[in-house]
Amino acid sequence: MIILIMSILDLLSGAVLITNGDFLFFSSIVSYMAAYSLFKGVLFLLSSFGMGYYFDWMSAIDIITGIGLLLLMWGFSFGFFYTIAVIALLKGAYSFLRGFFRI
């Protein structure tokens, strides 16, 4: 159940990044999504390093998404944010499907 909630939040982070915070609803939560993505990415990256797994691509995507959301919150918008957002959405969908079907 926790994996489903975190994957839905990942999908929401990707949606906020892909829209560049244009919608009023999304622009009010950019800072929360940035903090969530960065915290989760760093926490899971450190825990995977502690277990001896040094290729944690999902945490790296979370950290990159969090940095992109921070930049968006500060008013910077770059063309590669769309690519980061699509990758974050695909990661969120992948996590959601794995959590939903318990694979």
Q: What is the DSSP string of 40-89?
A: HHHHHHHHHHHTT----HHHHHHHHHHHHHHHHHTT---TTHHHHHHHHH
Which pLDDT belongs to residue 23? 63
pLDDT of res. 99: 94
Cβ neighbors of 50 (< 8 A, separation 6 or more) are none
- Say what the pTM is: 0.90
Q: Residue 93: which pLDDT band, with cuts at 50, 70 and 90?
A: very high
pLDDT exceeds cutoff 70 at 79:
yes
pLDDT-derived band at 78 (thresholds 50, 70, 90) equals confident
Look at residue 24 in the predicted model and tell me its pLDDT.
Answer: 52
Separation between Cα atoms, residue 45 and residue 21, nearest integer Å: 27
Model confidence pLDDT, tens digit, residues 15-67: 888 887 666 566 677 888 899 999 999 999 999 999 999 999 999 999 999 99
